[in-house]
Structures are given as C-alpha cells and as structure tokens.
Amino acid sequence: MSEIDGDIVATAAELADVNLFPGALAVDAKGEVPTAALDLVCGAGFHGLFSPTEFGGLGASPETQWAVLEALAGGCLTTSFVWAQHAGPSRAAVETTGPMRDQWAEALATGEARGGVAFAHLNRPGSPMLQADPCSDGWLFSGTAPFVTGWDHIDVVLTAARWADSIVWAMVDARDCETITSRRLSLTAIDSAVTVELRFDKHPVATKAVTSVEQLKDWKERYRRGLRSNGSNPLGVAARAMRLLGPSLLDDQLSEARQQIDAATADQLPEARARLGDLCVRATAALVASIGGSALFVEHQAQRLAREALFLLVQGQTPEIKRHHLERLTASSLTQRLRNDG
C-alpha cells in the first residue's frame, strides 16, 4: 500500500469538523448545496485530489484519496457526494490522449471546472438504458441516465452509453438543451445534492468528445477493483455517528471493518463493502436509540445520519454487494452476523 499524506488528510478532517459538520443540517434542509460549501472544498485544493501534479492536482495516493473521502463524508455527506463525482471526469480527462485532455484535465484539477458522472445505469440488469449509435461525425446518445448528482453545480458530465458489448465514454456539457432534458429526483437522503434523471434524445456527441471506448466486461472488472473508494462514505458516516454516540463496542468493529476492506482483494471487496453498509446502519441506529425521541427532530444530526446510512445501502450497489447486504440484514442471529465477518 502507498503512504497516506497526513497533511492532506488533516486538512480534510479540519474542514469536515469546523465547516461542513456544523452546517450539514442547514444544507440538508435547504434543497441544494450552497455554492459556498463547495467553494470551501475547492479552496482546500480537493478538486485536485484525483489528478496528478503535472495538471495542477495533488497527486494523492489512492489511500490518501480514501481517507479524504471518509473525512469529508463524515462532515456533510451531501456536500461531499457532490464533490466526489468530480473524480470520474478528472481521471478520464487525464487518462485520455485526445482533445478532452487539453480541454478538461487542468481545468478539473484546479477546480476551475467541476464535473459529474452518468454511469449508474451500467450496474443495472436488462437492456441498456442509454444507447450509443454511430453516426457520420461521432455518436448519437439516446435513452436515460437515471442518477446524475450535482446538477446546476457541474460543468461537464462523464457519460457512459452502451454500444453492443462496449461502452462509449464521453464528456457532455452539463446543461439542458434540445436533446438533453433533466428531471429532478426527490430523495429521502442527500436530496440537496440535486440528483436528476437525464433523458437523451439522439444527443450528438462528437468524436473528439469521446475519452475512451471499452468492453463492458472490462469496465465491470475495473469497477469491482475500485469498490474500496466506495466504502469511504459509510466509513465516514459511521465514524461520525460513533463520535456522537461515545465509546462502544462499535469502535473496534469499525477498525476491523476498515482493515478488512483495505486488505480485500477484488473478489473480497463486495462482502467488505456490505459489512460497512451494515455497520453504518447499526451505528446510526444506535445513535438514534441512545438519544431517544428528540433524535427524530429535523434539527437533530442523528436523524440525518440515519437517513444517510440507508442511502449508502444502495449507493453504488452491485448484485454482489446486494446479496451480501441481504445476507447480513436478514441474518437470524448474532452468531450468523459474526460468521459473515469472518
């Protein structure tokens, strides 16, 4: 494993504790993330977390990225989740060799431009929801991208459309137009992140806007290997709930679960991720139970964290993670739960 940059992580922890957490309830109630909150994250340099230094980024190791994601998620998951979408287009812009690198790599690394993603549909079974059809000067995207977060706060969306057994990845302007329409979704948790469904109606995508074309099976394997990053959100929310709860047996369970996912192979990551989801639900539920009825008041942090834990049960879910979640959540005894923990 690579070393963690302690200074970068300390900056994230301070930002989470001093700025994000105290304002998280207000963000939750507002209906949208204040631009000022995202500007604080950008001002700390974290839009460059996923980019190398040659483009103006921080050149952070994966382990440092995971720790920053965890810290910010524990501050305000809504703000953090909007910001975290930036990782996809930042990496794609750096890794491509076409004109999208020149247009977006440095702008995204410095936070001059901010990005989102539209690929949640790739994990859904059945027919492709968003299709790419070749045309004379590129592609036509048609169909639906069901979950795109940060609308109105992002400039570009890294969008995935299916073409036979392949995926066409392209940078698409994040705005409604004649061939792209957005519909805001109403969510029980992190609703202020402004998540929309995008409808593409033969939207033209120029060849130069394409960052890559890859086999679906290759992407699925790449996604499985990247599940450690996905685990930082429940780690952050669970850790925050435990700090508010006070010392308990959950503290050791959190440490063990973090060690498990850090050491997990690609085949072990879905189960490790499910363990974190289960722990996050139990930690936030314990916080609610310890406080009592007042925990359900909208002005209490406990109810916000509990709703976020439910959101994280399904965020980034794959069929494997879902199966492990259900095994845990329907376990008939503590013995069975411990057996699942290995």
Question: Which domain does 91 fall in, by range?
Answer: 6-110
Q: Which pLDDT band, with edges at 50, 70 and 90, does 17 fall under? A: very high
**Do residues 231 and 135 both lie within one domain?**
no
Rounded to 5 degrees, φ, ψ at 137 are: -120, 25
Smallest Cα–Cα separation from 274: which of 221, 329, 224, 216?
329
- For the chain, percent of residues with pLDDT exceeding 70: 96
pLDDT of residue 123: 87
Tell me what the mean pLDDT of segment 5-32 comes to: 96
Tokens of 333: 């005894």
Tokens of 56: 């103006």
Dist. CA 315–CA 273, nearest whole Å: 11
CATH, residue 184: 2.40.110.10
Show the 3-state SS of 36-55: HHHHHHHHCCHHHCCCCHHH
pLDDT in tens, 34-68: 999 999 999 999 999 999 999 999 999 999 999 99
**Do residues 121 and 100 both lie within one domain?**
no
Q: Which pLDDT band, with edges at 50, 70 and 90, does 339 fall under? A: low
Dist. CA 126–CA 110, nearest whole Å: 38
Dist. CA 208–CA 211, nearest whole Å: 8
22: Cβ–Cβ under 8 A, 6 or more apart, which residues?
none
221: in domain: no
Sign of CA dihedral 51, 167, 267, 250: positive
pLDDT beyond 70 at 221: yes
pLDDT beyond 90 at 272: yes
| Average pLDDT in the chain | 95
Please tell me the pTM assigned to this model: 0.94
Q: Which of 164, 186, 215 is the last residue of a domain?
A: 215
pLDDT of residue 337: 58
Angle CA(63)–CA(69)–CA(73) in degrees, nearest 5?
Answer: 150
pLDDT of residue 124: 87
Q: Which pLDDT band, with edges at 50, 70 and 90, does 74 fall under? A: very high
Dist. CA 210–CA 150, nearest whole Å: 22
Dist. CA 195–CA 208, nearest whole Å: 27
Give the H/E segment covering residue 7: helix 6-15
Q: CA 235: distance to chain centroid?
A: 13
220: in domain: no
48: in domain: yes
